[in-house]
Structure 1
Amino acid sequence: MTKRLDEMDSLLDVGRFPRPVYSGAVVNVLLTVWATFRLRGRLGDRPADLVKLVALVLAANLSPVVLLRMRSDMDAPKPVVEEMDFFGDQHRFPAWVYVAASANMALWVTVAWLAAGTRRGPKNLPGVLLVSLIWTLLPRLVHRLNRDQPR
């Protein structure tokens, strides 16, 4: 069953994104985890510093959406999820998609922050990167498994 961007009603619909769009989301999470490890300590170690970093990351991720929504015709027909264009359609999702993506990003910033603040072992960063990669790929993997099931 095909769905348009405004018809997305499940986290599994994220697994329908075209490969470049999904890859961009994965790279965004991984780079944010890596940057959080590098910034921890430079920004401070207090919980307030973590809150500031989460706010900064979410603002950086959501500001293009806000700007594009201000400039575009939101009543225009929406493309099918599998045919969306990252730059042309990233602002056309239902609001819950941005809430879910922001919660996911806040989670990974927090996990990376906490892992970077513990005893710094050589496996901390690779471990968090691996777990965040698997978690971020999960909707894509589940979508593929569901798609490949005989009906």
Structure 2
Amino acid sequence: MELKEAKQRFFNQLGQWKIMALGSSVNDYVMVRNVSCLFYNEKIYFKTDKNFRKTQQLFQNPRVALCCGGVQVEGIALNKGLVIDEPGRTFETLYKQYLWGSYNAYSHEEDEILIEVMPKFVEIWDTDEDNYAFQIFIDFDQKTAEVVSYDKK
């Protein structure tokens, strides 16, 4: 599978938004929590309060993992500043559109920062039309994509 096709499949499988489990670690203290993610510019975005424990952990160690369904992403989390200061306010617009309840309930403009996750490595579990399982591995740094059968036909 070509890299372009694999990346397209990856982002198509995620859609416009997902609730994803976010894993992070500092000094071997691991935390996992759900975050509401949006996908654009071939990156993953979520907002968080700059004072939360998870945010403080991301500041110390930006290496994260995100998971939803059969998709696992390993990447680097970058603090992009206040949500309301994003040029073009793409995140805010999409968040209102897809996650209105959360936007309405949890938007504290002075504390909400935008986190951008740059995918580094992706693993996708899927099945073919005959229900045989396979994995797609995408290495963004090496610019490679590989399909590996799990079930033998």
* TM-score w.r.t. length of structure 2: 0.24
Between Structure 1 and Structure 2, the one with more strand by share is 2
Between Structure 1 and Structure 2, the one with more helix by share is 1
Q: Which has the higher contact order (CA 8 A, sep 6+)?
A: 1
